[in-house]
Amino acid sequence: MGVIIQKFGGTSVKNTERILEVAKKIVESKKMGNSIVAVLSAQGGYTDILLEKAHKISKTPKKRELDVLLSTGEQISIALLAMAIEELGESAVSFTATQLGIKTCSNHNCAQILDIDSKKIKQALEEGNVVVVAGFQGVDLHGNITTLGRGGSDTTAVALGVTLGAKEVEIYTDVDGIYSADPRVVKNAKKINRIAYSEMIEMAGNGAKVLHSRSVELACKYNIKIHLRSSYSWTKGSIIKGEDKMEKEVIRGITHSKNLSKITLRDTPHRLADVISTLSNEGYNIDIITHDFDPERGATISCILKQEILEKAFEILREKYPKNRKNLVHIPNLGKVSVIGIGVKSKGVAAQVFKVLSENNISIEMVSSSDINISCIIHQKDLEKAVSLLHERLIEEAK
């Protein structure tokens, strides 16, 4: 029937019991006449354990060595799953990214896939094997092990789908689909049966942790359908695909992300490009940026970044601009709430968002918007309240 890519996340293979259940699911798909390529993450929580070990040795471990360490998690998963499939009577062979030739750039901890050599996979499939591949990892042109960043196994799965000409990639996780908000925060969150690539990219990039945003971007580029579903059942999940011209819903979801901070450099003669480059050159990812210029006082530049890098980023700017130290301030403990949906900018949604937050005394630090996304930076203590209120007003009451 063709090649099917099935990716299983950490919670799906977190222990021996779950690995055996995943093996049964794969074997059942194989017996239906499909050629199966299974992509695995490390067992749930294992990557965090490895990170903890690394930081007990070094406060700032070398990125190359971190990749060598973190890539071992997936190697354990694929070997155990291959064994489990063999125990069920099917042939299976596991491959690390290095063995397969999943070539990446040399950007350690956040590498991008450049090419995949499909010869070994195709040969193994022709021999009747289930091919089990380590996700999240690759090898650069110098032979160094690299990793793709947290959630990168999703991107590995889609990249393999592109290479092998798959029409669909199945992403198995511990939830049965994509929801209009985090069900742990909003009790009336509803499952989304179908969602456009563009909307899913925004949701993934703004706090919805069910999919790696880069995997959706890749699927969009090559028009590969993603089916996000539960590894605990055969229930149909959520389909991510091209735009639906008949789609009537304006708001798709309310996402949120925690542990953010804001740095502001006031009344500075320095250019925006210089300030942002100073942080970017250190490898820091910046979320939202605002720039206001006054001919007499200079520029005021603000940016949002992860709380964990606040102190280091703040110190870098203090050293870079010693004359502006008094004008350099920061606000910690922030979060971001985002309203996602095609057409939100043209439907007056922004006014509703601001009204809901204002009516409930939730102050806004910064705002960012596009045609399908309105994001507000607020204090973290108000985050879950904001998500619930916006979901109620813009999704539940809009039925």
pLDDT value at residue 275: 84
**Each residue of 236-272: pLDDT tens digit?**
999 999 876 545 557 899 999 999 999 998 877 777 8
pLDDT value at residue 248: 56
CA distance 398 to 326: 47
CA angle 193, 172, 394 (to 5 degrees): 35
Q: In this prediction, what percent of the chain has a pLDDT beyond 90?
A: 70
**Each residue of 41-64: pLDDT tens digit?**
999 999 999 999 999 999 889 999
What are the structure tokens assigned to 117, written together? 């050599």
Nearest to 337 by CA among 291, 368, 360, 306: 368
Please enumerate in sequence order all residues whose Cβ is within 8 A of that of 43, keeping only pairs 6 or more positions apart, or say none: 10, 13, 14, 15, 73, 76, 77
Between 99 and 282, the higher pLDDT residue = 99
pLDDT value at residue 90: 97
Position 399 confidence tier, pLDDT thresholds 50, 70, 90: low
Position 235 confidence tier, pLDDT thresholds 50, 70, 90: confident
pTM for the full model? Answer: 0.87
Contact present, 239 and 167 (Cβ < 8 Å): no
Contact present, 132 and 81 (Cβ < 8 Å): yes
Contact present, 132 and 92 (Cβ < 8 Å): yes
pLDDT value at residue 208: 85
CA distance 202 to 224: 18
Contact present, 228 and 171 (Cβ < 8 Å): yes
Please tell me the least confidently modeled range out of 132-136, 141-145, 326-330: 326-330
**Each residue of 17-37: pLDDT tens digit?**
999 999 999 999 999 999 999
CA distance 273 to 277: 6
pLDDT value at residue 385: 97
**Each residue of 110-139: pLDDT tens digit?**
999 999 999 999 999 999 999 999 999 999
Q: In this prediction, what percent of the chain has a pLDDT beyond 70?
A: 97
- Spell 21-45 as b/e; 16+ CB within 10 A means b: bbbebbbebbeeebbbbbbbbbbbe
pLDDT value at residue 68: 97
Contact present, 290 and 366 (Cβ < 8 Å): yes
Average pLDDT, the chain: 91
Sign of CA dihedral 141, 143, 144, 145: positive
CA distance 198 to 303: 24
Count CB atoms within 10 A of the CB of residue 57: 9
Count CB atoms within 10 A of the CB of residue 290: 17
Between 246 and 232, the higher pLDDT residue = 232
Nearest to 6 by CA among 124, 130, 127: 130
Please tell me the least confidently modeled range out of 86-90, 92-96, 297-301, 349-353: 297-301
CA distance 314 to 318: 6
Length of the chain: 399
What are the structure tokens assigned to 67, written together? 């990749």
CA distance 196 to 373: 13
pLDDT value at residue 297: 77
**Each residue of 197-221: pLDDT tens digit?**
999 999 988 888 889 889 999 999 9
Domains in the chain (CATH in brackets) are 3-174 (3.40.1160.10), 253-396 (3.30.2130.10)
pLDDT value at residue 249: 57
Per-position DSSP letters for 189-205, written without gaps between them: --EESEEEHHHHHHHHH
pLDDT value at residue 13: 96
pLDDT value at residue 239: 96
CA angle 239, 242, 247 (to 5 degrees): 85
**Each residue of 266-318: pLDDT tens digit?**
877 777 888 888 888 877 888 889 888 878 777 888 999 999 888 888 888 88
